[in-house]
Structure formats: structure tokens, C-alpha cells
Amino acid sequence: MTPAQPGRAVVRLIGMRAVKAAAAAAIACVAALSACMTSQHSPVNVPAGTSAPRPSGMPGFYLVVDGLDVVVRASADGHVTGTAPIPVPTGAGSSWVQGEAVGSADGRHFVIIMSQVNQIDVAFVSLFQLAVSPDGQPGRLGHLTFDSRGESVTGAALSPDGRLLALSLLDVFPAWRLHGSVEVINLASGATRTWSGQATPGYWPGIPAWASNSTVAVPWWHSAAGYLDPGQITGIRHLDIAAPGGNLAAAPLAAFPAPVPVAQSAMITPGGGAVIASSCRAVRHTVTARVVELSAANGRLIRVLRTHATRFGTDAAAQAMVSSPCTVLSVADADHVLVQAFAFGRIDNGVFTALPATTPRTLPVSAAW
């Protein structure tokens, strides 16, 4: 994910995927645009006690952050299997405007990221662990100790064994010198290692992924303008988690021959072999969302997973939609992807299936396998 330039809508937090000074604008933009998204969540009617079959290799459940609740839904047809409240600090109420979820490789363990924002800063970030039973029932959310230091959490990934959490963070201060960092947290002990990118302003880490149990991979974003948007992916950095942390820019970089521009969000597949990226483009009254698979080795196009065009009444409305609805939310593998490309749903081997998400219809959707 790339968050938006200050003053524009935030694509996702997670992803999940807010930039300082952008949160208030994002809320207003999302509220105004929701009326345009009449096809955002297609209803799915499933008889009680039944479940549609799901494609082989796809996780059994996806989790949605819906306000201050998590909702577990069956991946095949989207019917609700269980809900649980998110125990944010008492009195926080609606000020918790951003929520994100990230899942483990087994599809049963999740971390929920809740961010409280104000007009100029990320005030507070809370992390919660959640386990889901084989029949889709959520357990109680357990709180994790974490200090974001006022930075935005822009991406997260659980290790294949579920023991470690990798977080990408973003800061624009001082003087709007954009930079980021990566933290790896041991969920049992709370021990943290940090790779800082403060020495390379204008570059920042994207959503992390686990290339193996010992390596974290992150898309390496760059913007010559000093803002998040427009940005381009210049390659993939690989962090050895056996190291104590240090300079993020010193981690090995698999540089692309040519940067990949104009992507709104990007997630590396488990194992690090490919990048699933999304983008939106407005031409007069029409906005086209595109989800593609790219090579993690060189950034070149492997295949187009989804293309969808939506028409709006004015050029201004079409241009505004570019910031919001084109997001890769979760990647089980290159063949199974959760996206919000105007409609929310899953892509299986290039075939899109609309699924229900939040109620009422709200943007942006935050969901994860």
C-alpha cells in the first residue's frame, strides 16, 4: 500500500493497507464517495447451516475490521461465522477511525491493528492477537504491548509460524522528509528489532512479507517529489531477522531494471516470488481499476488479474475515486487475492468473485486472510 499525499484520501492503513495530516481528509472523502459506490458490497444469501464450496488452496475464512468489531466470514460465500469486539481503551469511541488485520499462513491466527488519529498526527496504535477456531469462531482478542512513536503503521505481516510480526512504519517529520522503518516483534517476549530508513528521505518500505522464516521482504518505494503519491517501486529489500536491526538502506536490495510507477498498493506473495499490485486511472468520467501480478525479480508484468471500469457523473468525481478503491488487501498466494477494486471480493486464478464486507457500506474495506 501507499498512503495518499497529505490532503488526499488514504488508500488503506494496513494495508489494512493513515499518513499524518491526512486522516481527517480521508474520512470526509470516504463519506462523500460512499454514495457513488452502489455496487460496493453485493449481498450473498446463504441458507442457514450451509456453506458454498471454496476453491482448493484458498483460506477457509477472511476477517474484516468493521468499526470496533472483527467479523469472521467464510471465504467461499462471505457468510458470517462469528464476531468479536475489539477492546480498545475505554472512552476511545469513534476516534478509532482506522483498523487493519493481517493473517498467518495457517489462516487461523490474526493480528488486528487499530490506530487513533487526529488532525495532525497518529495519536495511538494498539495491536491485538486473535485466534479463529476451525469452524470460524473468533476467540478473545489479546492486547500486545507496542509503541509506534507517533508513526503510521503502513503494513504488517505475520511469520509463517505465527511467532513474529513485521511492521512497516512511516514518518514525514521533520520538515516533511518522508522516511520509514521496519520493526520485527516477537509476540511472546515483546522483543523488538528495528531497521531505520531515516538516512534515506524520499524512500520508504511498503507492506512487508515473509520470504522465509528468517527473511522479511519489503517493496522499496520512492518519490522524487518527496510525497507518497506519486510513488514508484524501485525493487525489493530483504532483511535478515537474525540481525539486530540497523540501517534499512543497508539491507540487500533486489533492484528492478526500471521502477514500477503509479501503483496504489502492492503486496509480495508468501515466499517472495511475485508482487500483486493495484492501480486506478481516471480518463474523463471513467475510472479503471487494475490488479496485476509482477515479477519480484525485475518488476515486469506476469499477468493481469482484474480490470474493471466504472463511470462517474463528473470528471471531478472520477478523479476523486482514484485515491480510494483500488487496493490489494491480502494475498494467500498469487492465485488467491483479496482486493477492493471498486467492489470488494477475491480473485482466484484471474476470476473475480464479489463478497460482502462491512455493514453499512463504508470505504475503505479492511480485510485479511
Assign 273 a pLDDT band (cuts: 50, 70, 90).
very high
pLDDT of residue 172: 67
Whole-angstrom distance, CA of residue 183 vs CA of residue 173: 18
Assign 90 a pLDDT band (cuts: 50, 70, 90).
low
Cis peptide leading into 356, omega within 30 of 0? no
**Cα-flanking dihedrals φ and ψ of residue 118, to 5°?**
-125, -165
Assign 95 a pLDDT band (cuts: 50, 70, 90).
low
pLDDT of residue 1: 34
User: What stretches of the chain show up as alpha helix (H) in DSSP?
Assistant: 23-34, 315-321
Centre a 10 Å sphere on the Cβ of residue 36 and count the other Cβ atoms it contains.
19
Assign 126 a pLDDT band (cuts: 50, 70, 90).
confident
Whole-angstrom distance, CA of residue 190 vs CA of residue 320: 41
- How far CA 220 is from CA of 115, 165, 178, 276, in Å, comes to 24, 19, 13, 14
Query: Which has the higher per-residue pLDDT, 157 or 1?
Result: 157
Q: Which residues contact 260 (CB under 8 A, 6 or more apart)?
A: 232, 233, 266, 277, 294, 299
Question: Can you name the residues that pair with 194 across neighbouring β-strands?
Answer: 183, 245
Query: Which has the higher per-residue pLDDT, 106 or 227?
Result: 106
Q: Is 116 helix (H, G, I), strand (E, B) or coil?
A: strand
Share of the chain above pLDDT 90, in %: 43
Q: Is 261 helix (H, G, I), strand (E, B) or coil?
A: strand
- Report yes or no: 158 and 87 within 8 Å, Cβ to Cβ: no
**Cα–Cα nearest to 344, from 315, 368, 316:** 368
**Residue 338 in this model has a pLDDT that exceeds 50:** yes
Q: Picking from 22-31, 273-282, 293-302, which range would have the lowest pLDDT averaged per residue?
A: 22-31
pLDDT of residue 98: 64
- Report yes or no: 343 and 354 within 8 Å, Cβ to Cβ: yes
Average pLDDT over residues 130-152: 88
Average pLDDT over residues 211-228: 84
Pick the CATH number of 23-41+60-88+95-368 from 3.30.365.10, 2.60.40.10, 2.40.50.1070, 2.120.10.30: 2.120.10.30
Average pLDDT over residues 303-331: 80
Quote the cell numbers at residue 337: 487475492
pLDDT of residue 201: 82
Assign 228 a pLDDT band (cuts: 50, 70, 90).
low
Q: Which residues contact 50 (CB under 8 A, 6 or more apart)?
A: none
pLDDT in tens, 67-76: 889 999 999 9
pLDDT of residue 233: 93
Average pLDDT over residues 86-111: 77
**Residue 87 in this model has a pLDDT that exceeds 50:** yes
Burial of 48 (0-12, 13-18, 19+ CB in 10 A): exposed
pLDDT of residue 348: 95
pLDDT in tens, 51-84: 566 677 789 999 999 888 999 999 999 999 999 9
Centre a 10 Å sphere on the Cβ of residue 197 and count the other Cβ atoms it contains.
26
**Cα–Cα nearest to 110, from 124, 134, 138, 131:** 131
Quote the cell numbers at residue 302: 506476469
Q: Is 90 helix (H, G, I), strand (E, B) or coil?
A: coil
pLDDT of residue 183: 94
**Where exactly are the structural domains of the chain?**
23-41+60-88+95-368
**Residue 197 in this model has a pLDDT that exceeds 70:** yes
The pLDDT mean for the chain works out to: 78
CA 20, 25, 31, 36 dihedral sign is: negative
Whole-angstrom distance, CA of residue 204 vs CA of residue 329: 19
Cell 480518463, residue?
283
Query: Which has the higher per-residue pLDDT, 228 or 137?
Result: 137
pLDDT of residue 359: 67
